């Protein structure tokens, strides 16, 4: 069997006093192998210049290489780790530094060219290993290797590192074990298993991280230089000089010197500290809840740092775009956060390494930002269960975490807990509201819209209610739904939760959907928006889904309200407009908001996607077509348009109020009256703080008199 490991004359061991380890072992083994696995204390690319002849044989046979190594850490590398730099980033930079030095060695050209070819063809993979135990960061010093052909394997272990000096300059020895030899088989297979466990990061006390992608450009450049088509001034495909700059994660939140923390934000943080770092901040949309929370986190981190303890901060936000917004602010506070959403593979490794670095004292802390969905998943819960240090949990739009399916996932290990919400009470869910306060604590600071306007944190506004009537068919469906809701409350004595998976929750959504899709809203909108046909910065909040009656048997299918609205605004009124919904991809969302700010779009039509946390400070006018009775929704929508912006001192809110038609008999008078009462309660809240409060109340007076609601 020509060209096989079995027919190669291997000795039981090799020693520098008896000959060349490279010429007598490495080159012959590589030239007949299909794969080469190597785990060593130190690896530099210069070794490939020495074993270039064998590499050629491996390349010709279509072979693969896997290498696990520890880079050499200089004193400044160790100092950076101790100062809180991300361990992984320092390791990557040290490994790249070793390879850059190898490129500078003229003798390395041939082997490095082969290395570049293997990487380009996807047949070389490199990982970095380090010790993670005994409260220290240690280097991996084991030295094992495995050659394989189609039938057999040769394993070896010994003192030689995969470096130029390790195989030539030093005095080294290795022992060799052949799988076809009965005396060696058990050891050979055991070494092979040890490498596989190491490669898959299954070895106790060690962490193994990918490195090939981090070094890919450098390796490819080495291949080009070896082929004579490049040099130190080589450029990448974009025409820019090739540089490799691993990301550095400063672990400790620090308040930026240029941040002007408002007095009310200082009071909020002070109140939270007075409650031992637990509580809820009820702050109006636009008053800076994010910066207030990060300021609190920075102060906790500073206190713990003085005691020599790191702080892990976990931020939970409802949606991916809010995670991205948080990340920008966290970076301003000096930390490169881990964004945990989408595929687990994109963040789980980074989160694991952060936890390792903190446990070993190699990082002063870190920040992980995640979505509600990812937070509740098994993978993220596994990360939380592993962590044994000091934990701060920040919940953005905290009311969402009161839902039964996620409130049970909140970690008991979080010593510090901070909930943020303009409306922490859950609508029709006293149990969920109680779950929130049980976990986070009570509201420790409150700042409503009125106080925020007085403080200059939000701008002033006018409020215009527009009354529209349900048609006869819509009225009948409304009464039917409302009576079902009333029966549930009577049977459950008001204790039924309104979670998505309950009957009550489904009925409340259906009723809200009916009010939001009232057919009379579209002509009313046309009249209102024609008055502002030359204005920019207009937001349209539409109802989700379709009209509930379109789902009835035999009913004609109706377009979604947002489609009807965009046809009205964009086609019939010729105003540049775009949609912003959950289905809009994130790059397109950013583009829509930028075009809106740049006066390329007059109108942006949205549904719930703009409710929570999205910054649209340029918005001047908001049309509330989706008239939810949930106070959280209309408070958030009002807050979107009240954010301060240059040149903006006033905002306008146009609210479409749904009532039954006058003179149409309802099944129960109390149903009709309670419906109008709910709508008027919302209107009164809006009107109270508006610049035109008296005008608003005059508009509503006939309606209040009709239903005997002058007391509202």
The pLDDT tens digits for 257-283 are 899 888 999 999 999 999 999 999 999
Q: Taking residues 485-497, report their average pLDDT.
A: 68
Evaluate if residue 525 carries a pLDDT over 90.
yes
- Rounded to the nearest 10 degrees, how much is the dihedral formed by the CA atoms of 367, 371, 375, 377? -140
Lowest mean pLDDT segment, chosen from 74-88, 408-422, 684-698: 74-88
Helix-then-strand count for the chain, H and E: 27, 22
What percentage of residues in the chain have a pLDDT greater than 90?
34
The pLDDT score that the predictor gives to residue 191 is 95
Q: Taking residues 403-420, report their average pLDDT.
A: 89
Evaluate if residue 105 carries a pLDDT over 60.
no
The pLDDT score that the predictor gives to residue 243 is 31
At 211, list the tokens.
Answer: 């490195």
Mean pLDDT score of the chain: 80
Length of the chain: 712
**C-beta separation of 134 from 152 below 8 A:** no
Biggest CA pair distance of the chain = 110
Q: Taking residues 423-435, report their average pLDDT.
A: 70
∠ CA 672-678-683 to the nearest 5 degrees?
125
Evaluate if residue 640 carries a pLDDT over 80.
no
Most confident of 58-62, 208-212, 384-388: 384-388
State the pairing for strand pair 124-133/206-210: antiparallel
CA–CA separation, 76 vs 474, rounded Å? 73
- Rounded to the nearest 10 degrees, how much is the dihedral formed by the CA atoms of 560, 500, 399, 611? 0
Which segments of the chain belong to CATH 3.40.50.300? 263-454, 460-706
Lowest mean pLDDT segment, chosen from 134-143, 237-246, 264-273, 514-523: 237-246
CA–CA separation, 108 vs 225, rounded Å? 10
Which of 302, 309, 323, 293 lies closest to 393, judged by CA? 293
Evaluate if residue 669 carries a pLDDT over 70.
no
CA–CA separation, 193 vs 155, rounded Å? 11
pLDDT tier for residue 374 given thresholds of 50, 70 and 90: very high
CA–CA separation, 325 vs 288, rounded Å? 13
At 50, list the tokens.
Answer: 């020495």
CA–CA separation, 389 vs 261, rounded Å? 29
The pLDDT score that the predictor gives to residue 183 is 93
Which of 377, 370, 628 lies closest to 513, judged by CA? 628
Higher per-residue confidence, 331 vs 243: 331
How many alpha carbons fall within 13 Å on the CB side of residue 124?
24
| The 443-447 sheet, strands edge to edge | 338-340, 365-371, 311-317, 390-395, 416-421, 278-283, 443-447
For 13-226, CATH gives: 3.30.870.10
CA–CA separation, 149 vs 145, rounded Å? 14
Evaluate if residue 206 carries a pLDDT over 90.
no
pLDDT tier for residue 169 given thresholds of 50, 70 and 90: very low
Tell me the C-alpha to C-alpha distance, in Å, between residue 244 and each of 212, 221, 376.
12, 12, 36
Which segments of the chain belong to CATH 3.30.870.10? 13-226
3 state SS of 63: coil
Lowest mean pLDDT segment, chosen from 232-246, 600-614, 698-712: 232-246
Q: Which residues pair with 137 in a beta bridge?
A: 132
Higher per-residue confidence, 61 vs 552: 61
| Tokens 């060696």 found at | 184
Evaluate if residue 229 carries a pLDDT over 50.
no
Lowest mean pLDDT segment, chosen from 251-255, 266-270, 479-483: 479-483
3 state SS of 45: coil
| Tokens 């070794």 found at | 47
3 state SS of 572: helix
- Alpha helix positions (H), 212-277: 212-226, 263-274
CA–CA separation, 232 vs 218, rounded Å? 11
| DSSP letter assigned to residue 343 | -
CA–CA separation, 148 vs 179, rounded Å? 10
- Integer-rounded Cα radius of gyration of the chain: 33
**What backbone phi and psi angles, to 5 degrees, belong to 587?**
-60, -35
CA–CA separation, 641 vs 338, rounded Å? 30
pLDDT tier for residue 285 given thresholds of 50, 70 and 90: confident
- Alpha helix positions (H), 254-377: 263-274, 289-306, 320-332, 348-359, 372-376
Higher per-residue confidence, 273 vs 99: 273
At 401, list the tokens.
Answer: 């975490």
Lowest mean pLDDT segment, chosen from 323-327, 505-509, 560-564: 505-509
The pLDDT score that the predictor gives to residue 490 is 76
pLDDT tier for residue 125 given thresholds of 50, 70 and 90: confident
Higher per-residue confidence, 370 vs 421: 370
What's 263-454's CATH class?
Answer: alpha beta
| Tokens 């409350």 found at | 489
Tell me the C-alpha to C-alpha distance, in Å, between residue 520 and each of 273, 634, 675.
51, 20, 17
How many alpha carbons fall within 13 Å on the CB side of residue 626?
34
CA–CA separation, 521 vs 639, rounded Å? 22
CA–CA separation, 312 vs 364, rounded Å? 9
- pLDDT tens digits for range 23-50: 788 888 988 999 999 888 766 554 554 4
The pLDDT score that the predictor gives to residue 710 is 67
At 658, list the tokens.
Answer: 């749904």
Higher per-residue confidence, 93 vs 309: 309
pTM: 0.57
Evaluate if residue 620 carries a pLDDT over 80.
yes
For 121-171, the three-class secondary structure string (H helix, E strand, C coil) is CCCEEEEEEEEEECCEEEECCCCEEEEECCCCEEEEEECCCECHHHHHHCC
Which of 280, 509, 508, 298 lies closest to 397, judged by CA? 280
For 460-706, CATH gives: 3.40.50.300
CA–CA separation, 584 vs 607, rounded Å? 11
Q: Which residues contact 427 (CB under 8 A, 6 or more apart)?
A: 498, 508, 630, 631, 632
The pLDDT score that the predictor gives to residue 330 is 95
């Amino acid at each position: 069997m020509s060209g096989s490991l079995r027919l190669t004359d291997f000795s039981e061991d090799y020693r520098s006093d008896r000959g060349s380890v490279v010429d007598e072992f490495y080159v012959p083994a590589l030239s007949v192998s299909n794969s080469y696995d190597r785990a060593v204390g130190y690896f530099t690319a210069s070794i490939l210049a020495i074993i270039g002849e064998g590499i050629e044989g491996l390349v010709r046979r279509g072979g693969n290489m896997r290498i696990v190594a520890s880079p050499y850490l200089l004193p400044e590398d160790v100092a950076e780790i101790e100062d809180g730099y991300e361990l992984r980033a320092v390791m990557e930079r040290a490994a790249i530094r070793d390879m850059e030095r190898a490129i500078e060695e003229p003798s390395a050209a041939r082997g490095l060219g082969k290395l570049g070819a293997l990487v380009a063809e996807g047949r070389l993979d490199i990982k970095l290993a380090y010790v993670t135990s005994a409260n220290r960061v240690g280097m991996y010093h084991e030295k094992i290797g495995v050659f394989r052909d189609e039938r057999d394997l040769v394993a070896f272990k010994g003192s030689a590192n995969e470096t130029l000096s390790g195989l030539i300059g030093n005095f080294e020895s290795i022992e060799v074990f052949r799988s076809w030899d009965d005396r060696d088989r058990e050891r050979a297979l055991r070494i092979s298993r040890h490498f596989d466990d190491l490669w898959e990061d299954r070895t106790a006390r060690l962490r193994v991280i990918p490195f090939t992608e981090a070094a890919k450009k450098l390796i490819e450049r080495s291949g080009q230089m070896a082929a004579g088509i490049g040099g130190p001034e080589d450029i990448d495909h974009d025409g820019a000089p090739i540089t490799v700059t691993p990301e550095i994660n400063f672990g400790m939140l620090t308040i930026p010197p240029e941040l002007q923390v408002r007095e009310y934000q200082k009071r909020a943080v002070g109140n939270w500290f007075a409650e031992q770092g637990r509580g809820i901040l009820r702050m109006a949309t636009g008053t800076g809840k994010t910066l207030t929370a990060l300021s609190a986190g920075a102060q906790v981190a500073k206190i713990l740092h003085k005691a020599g303890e790191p702080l892990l901060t976990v931020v939970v936000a409802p949606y991916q775009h809010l995670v991205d917004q948080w990340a920008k602010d966290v970076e301003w506070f000096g930390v490169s956060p881990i964004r945990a959403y989408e595929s687990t593979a994109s963040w789980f490794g980074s989160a694991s390494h952060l936890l390792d670095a903190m446990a070993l004292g190699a990082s002063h802390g870190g920040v992980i930002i995640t979505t509600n969905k990812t937070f509740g998943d098994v993978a993220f819960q596994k990360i939380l269960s592993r962590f044994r240090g000091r934990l701060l949990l920040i919940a953005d739009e905290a009311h969402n975490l009161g839902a039964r399916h996620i409130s049970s996932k909140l970690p008991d290990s979080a010593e510090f807990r901070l909930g943020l919400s303009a409306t922490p009470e859950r609508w029709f869910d006293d149990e969920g509201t109680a779950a929130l306060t049980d976990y986070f604590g009570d509201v420790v600071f409150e700042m409503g819209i009125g106080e925020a306007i007085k403080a200059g944190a939000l701008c002033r506004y006018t409020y215009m209610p527009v009354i529209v009537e349900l048609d006869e068919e819509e009225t009948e469906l409304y009464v039917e739904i409302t009576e079902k809701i009333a029966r549930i409350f009577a049977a459950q004595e008001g204790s039924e939760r309104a979670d998505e998976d309950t009957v009550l929750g489904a009925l409340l959504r259906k009723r809200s959907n009916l009010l939001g899709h009232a057919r009379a809203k579209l002509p009313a909108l046309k009249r209102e928006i024609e008055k502002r046909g030359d204005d920019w910065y207009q937001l349209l909040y539409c109802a989700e889904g379709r009209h509930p009656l379109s789902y009835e048997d035999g009913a004609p299918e109706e377009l979604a309200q947002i489609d009807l609205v965009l046809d009205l605004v964009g086609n019939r009124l010729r105003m540049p407009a775009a949609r912003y919904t959950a289905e809009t991809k994130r790059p397109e969302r950013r583009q829509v908001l930028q075009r809106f700010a740049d006066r390329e779009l007059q109108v942006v039509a949205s549904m719930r996607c703009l409710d929570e946390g999205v910054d649209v400070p340029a918005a001047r006018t908001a049309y509330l077509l989706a008239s939810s009775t949930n106070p959280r929704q209309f408070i958030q929508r009002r807050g979107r348009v009240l954010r301060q912006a240059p040149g903006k001192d006033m905002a306008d809110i146009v609210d479409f109020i749904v009532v039954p038609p006058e003179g149409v008999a309802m099944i129960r008078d109390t149903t009709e009256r309670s419906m109008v009462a709910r709508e008027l309660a919302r209107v009164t809240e809006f009107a109270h703080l508006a610049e035109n409060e008296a005008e608003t109340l005059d508009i509503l007076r006939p309606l209040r008199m009709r239903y005997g609601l002058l007391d509202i």
